[in-house]
Amino acid sequence: MNTAGTLSASGGGRPGAGMRADAERNRERILAAARKLYAREGLSISMAAVAREAGVGKATLFRHFTTHQDLIDAVFADRMDAYVRATEEALADDDPWLGFLRYITEVCAMQAEDRGFADVLTLTFSTAEALEERRTRAYHGFLAIIERARSTGHLQPDFASEDLILVLMANAGVISATGGDAPESWRRLIGHLLRGFATHGAPVPPMPPAPSSASLYRAMARTEQRHEGEIAKP
C-alpha cells in the first residue's frame, strides 16, 4: 500500500494547512464569543470567560491574543470604523447644526447597542494602537463638527470638545443602569443634553418620552442588587 500517496490524496500530507484552518476557526470563535460577552456585560468580562464561551482553552486564546487589550482591539475594530464614519458623515452634512445633532445621537445609539463599545468610548487603551488611531481621527473630526455647528449660531459658544467625553460617560452610566429594564432611557438623557447645548430658538429634535416609573424602579433595584453582590465578595 502506498501510504504516502494515500495521505497526499486525502490532504493528510499537508498538516500545516489543516492546522492553519483550525487556528483560523478558533480565532473566529474567540472573536464571536468576545463580541457577545462584551456587548452584554461590558469590558469587565475576563479572558477566562471568553475562552469558556468560545469553547477553547486559555492557552489557545492567548496564542491568538496575548493581552486583553489585543482582544479588545480586534473585537471593536469595525465599531471604531463606524465611529469614524459617523464623524465623516456629520462633516459632510449640508446643515452643520443638523450634522452635530445627528452625530451626538448616533454615537450614543452605538453605545446603547453594545455595552462593550459604551466602555470603549470612555476608556483609553495605550497598547491598542489601531483602536487609538481611529479614536484620534474621530476626535479631530469632532473638533471640526463643533466649529461648523458654532458658526450657525445654534450651538452654545462655551461648548467644548471635552463635553463630548462627559456626554459619553453619562450615557454609558445610564445604559449600564437601565439597559435591561428601561432600554430607551438614554434617548431621554440625550434629549435634555441637546437642549442644553442649543442656543435659544435653535431647532432641536422632539423630546423622547420619559421612561416609566416602574421600569426605573426595577433598574434601581437591579443596580442595588449588583452593588450588594460586589460588597459581599471576599
Which residue is associated with the grid cell 492567548? 62
pLDDT in tens, 30-65: 999 999 999 888 888 899 999 999 999 999 999 999
> Does residue 161 surpass a pLDDT of 70?
yes
Written as nine digits, the cell of 84 is: 469614524
Give the residue range(s) of CATH 1.10.357.10 domains in the chain. 10-75
Q: Which 3 state secondary structure label does DSSP give 180?
A: coil
| Averaged pLDDT of the chain | 87
The DSSP-derived string for 87-154 is HHHHHH-SSHHHHHHHHHHHHHHHHHH-HHHHHHTT---TT-HHHHHHHHHHHHHHHHHHHHHHHTT-
CB 188 within 8 A of CB 208: yes
How far apart (Å, rounded) are the C-alpha atoms in residues 33 and 77? 15
The DSSP-derived string for 44-94 is T--HHHHHHHHT--HHHHHHH-SSHHHHHHHHTHHHHHHHHHHHHHHHH-S
Written as nine digits, the cell of 136 is: 484620534
The hierarchical CATH code for the domain 10-75 is 1.10.357.10
CB 143 within 8 A of CB 88: no
From 25-29, 76-80, 126-130, the region with the lowest mean pLDDT: 126-130
Q: pTM for this structure? A: 0.79
Domain 77-232 has CATH 1.10.357: yes
How far apart (Å, rounded) are the C-alpha atoms in residues 175 and 179? 5
% of the chain residues with pLDDT over 70 = 88
Residue 20 has a pLDDT of: 81
Which secondary structure element, helix H or strand E, spans residue 15, and what is its range?
Answer: helix 15-41
User: Torsions phi, psi of 214, nearest 5?
Assistant: -65, -40
CA atoms within 13 A on the CB side of 65: 28
